[in-house]
């Protein structure tokens, strides 16, 4: 089922999870164990991230350096199919522009269509670790909006090869990313919102936000989106923090800020256990407020916080919900 159908059919705020494929060489069983712990919450869909290949220079025996591409977490499409058919849960594979030609994107979308997966979250992806700025594949897309356009075309049966006749129309429900605290490359919130509106106008069906720790960012983001004419559902992204260290690491990676109240509470902790409890309490309060606001779904980023997520979600679902 398409994500937007799940959202329309909901009787309360839904709860979904985002997981990462295993590291290359690892077995899928650890991932299944993670999902087993989430089953009690009956997630309507599970997102699976995509990880582009990075390159590094390896020195060979002759002293020369060779550029070697390494993808640490391959398998997004396969993992999505495995979860869908093992658990009967809809999956949302992430697809990125970075490292993909338009033809490879089309092939990936066709694979998903054959597998009966009709949801995608379409992203540009970040620059490679050793690149300063994002560089598009020479035959690929430079922004997520172009990936959206390509997928919308496929939904109409228009493939890259224009000689096909009676080509199958796909039925992808398209999610895109939004940034309540602004995308870090954008010169202003206004510009970022204009590009977000463009992504939606190109055919995105809903938005999932970057994580944030102060709900005022989400509330004002939703308000500004609506003022700009962005009408699609906006799903807030939540990532529980579990330690003081998180407060120093996450801003550098995700370009977000922590509210002072949370920083002060974490700094006052005497033990790692206390830090964890502050993180759990903060997330429960934050999530409850989002539910009370009427958020269509809470998108939990599980990476690094899987140990605390079940207790947080259990607390949330034990309370009476309003839509």
**CB-based contacts of 285, cutoff 8 Å, min separation 6:** none
For this structure, is 18 an active site residue?
yes
Could you say whether residue 234 binds ligand FAD (CB under 6 A)? Answer: no
CB of residue 45 to ligand FAD, shortest distance in Å: 13
CB of residue 318 to ligand FAD, shortest distance in Å: 27
CB of residue 50 to ligand FAD, shortest distance in Å: 4
What gap in Å lies between CA 120 and CA 94, rounded to an integer? 6
**Which one of 6, 199, 217, 276 is in contact with ligand FAD (CB under 6 A)?**
199
Could you say whether residue 5 binds ligand FAD (CB under 6 A)? Answer: no
What gap in Å lies between CA 23 and CA 172, rounded to an integer? 27
* Residue 40: other Cβ atoms inside 10 A: 11
CB of residue 265 to ligand FAD, shortest distance in Å: 26
What gap in Å lies between CA 127 and CA 133, rounded to an integer? 5
What gap in Å lies between CA 77 and CA 314, rounded to an integer? 29
The span of 8-16, 104-112, 183-191, 222-230 binding ligand FAD (CB under 6 A) equals 183-191
Of 313, 250, 253, residue with least CA distance to 17: 313
**Which one of 3, 16, 17, 49 is in contact with ligand FAD (CB under 6 A)?**
49
Q: In Å, what is the CA distance from 26 to each residue of 12, 23, 31? A: 37, 6, 10
The span of 32-40, 49-57, 100-108, 288-296 binding ligand FAD (CB under 6 A) equals 49-57
CB of residue 107 to ligand FAD, shortest distance in Å: 18
**CB-based contacts of 231, cutoff 8 Å, min separation 6:** 200
Could you say whether residue 284 binds ligand FAD (CB under 6 A)? Answer: no
Could you say whether residue 243 binds ligand FAD (CB under 6 A)? Answer: no
**Which one of 32, 195, 219, 293 is in contact with ligand FAD (CB under 6 A)?**
195
Angle between helices 189-202 and 215-227 (to 10 degrees): 60
* Contact pattern for ligand FAD over residues 94 through 113, marking x by CB under 6 A: x-x-----------------
Could you say whether residue 236 binds ligand FAD (CB under 6 A)? Answer: no
Distance of CA 227 to the CA centre of its chain: 24
Of 169, 80, 72, 78, residue with least CA distance to 121: 80
* Geometric angle at alpha carbon 168, from 165 and 173, rounded to 5°: 140
Could you say whether residue 22 binds ligand FAD (CB under 6 A)? Answer: no
By beta-carbon proximity to ligand FAD, the closer residue of 37 and 149 is: 149
What gap in Å lies between CA 247 and CA 260, rounded to an integer? 11
Could you say whether residue 72 binds ligand FAD (CB under 6 A)? Answer: no
Could you say whether residue 54 binds ligand FAD (CB under 6 A)? Answer: no
Interface positions with ligand FAD (CB under 6 A): 49-50, 52, 94, 96, 123-126, 143-145, 177, 183, 185-186, 192, 195, 199, 208, 210, 237
Q: Which residues are catalytic?
A: 18
């Amino acid at each position: 089922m398409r994500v937007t159908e799940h959202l329309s059919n909901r009787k309360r705020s839904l709860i979904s999870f985002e997981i990462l494929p295993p590291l290359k060489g690892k077995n899928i069983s650890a991932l299944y164990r993670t999902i087993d712990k989430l089953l009690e919450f009956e997630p309507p869909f599970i997102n699976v991230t995509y990880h582009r290949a990075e390159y590094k220079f390896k020195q060979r025996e002759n002293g020369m350096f060779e550029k070697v591409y390494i993808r640490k977490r391959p398998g997004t499409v396969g993992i999505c199919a495995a979860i869908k058919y093992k658990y009967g849960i809809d999956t949302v594979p992430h697809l990125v522009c970075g490292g993909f030609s338009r033809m490879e994107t089309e092939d990936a979308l066709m694979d998903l269509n054959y597998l009966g997966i009709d949801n995608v979250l379409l992203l540009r992806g970040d620059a490679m670790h050793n690149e300063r700025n994002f560089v598009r594949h020479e035959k690929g897309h430079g922004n997520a909006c172009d990936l959206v356009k390509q997928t919308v075309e496929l939904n109409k049966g228009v493939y890259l090869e224009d000689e096909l006749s009676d080509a199958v129309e796909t039925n992808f429900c398209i999610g895109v990313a939004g940034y309540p605290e602004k995308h870090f490359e954008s010169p202003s919130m206004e510009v970022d919102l204009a590009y977000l509106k463009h992504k939606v106008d190109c055919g995105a069906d809903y938005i999932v936000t970057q994580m944030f720790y102060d709900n005022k960012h989400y509330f004002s983001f939703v308000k500004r989106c609506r003022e700009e004419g962005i009408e699609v559902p906006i799903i807030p992204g939540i990532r529980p923090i579990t330690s003081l260290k998180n407060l120093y690491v996450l801003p550098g990676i995700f370009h977000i800020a922590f509210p002072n109240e949370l920083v002060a509470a974490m700094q006052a902790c005497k033990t790692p256990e206390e830090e964890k409890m502050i993180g759990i309490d903060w997330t429960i309060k934050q999530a409850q407020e989002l539910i009370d606001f009427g958020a269509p779904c809470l998108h939990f980023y599980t990476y690094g916080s899987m140990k605390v997520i079940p207790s947080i979600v259990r607390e949330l679902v034990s309370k009476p919900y309003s839509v």
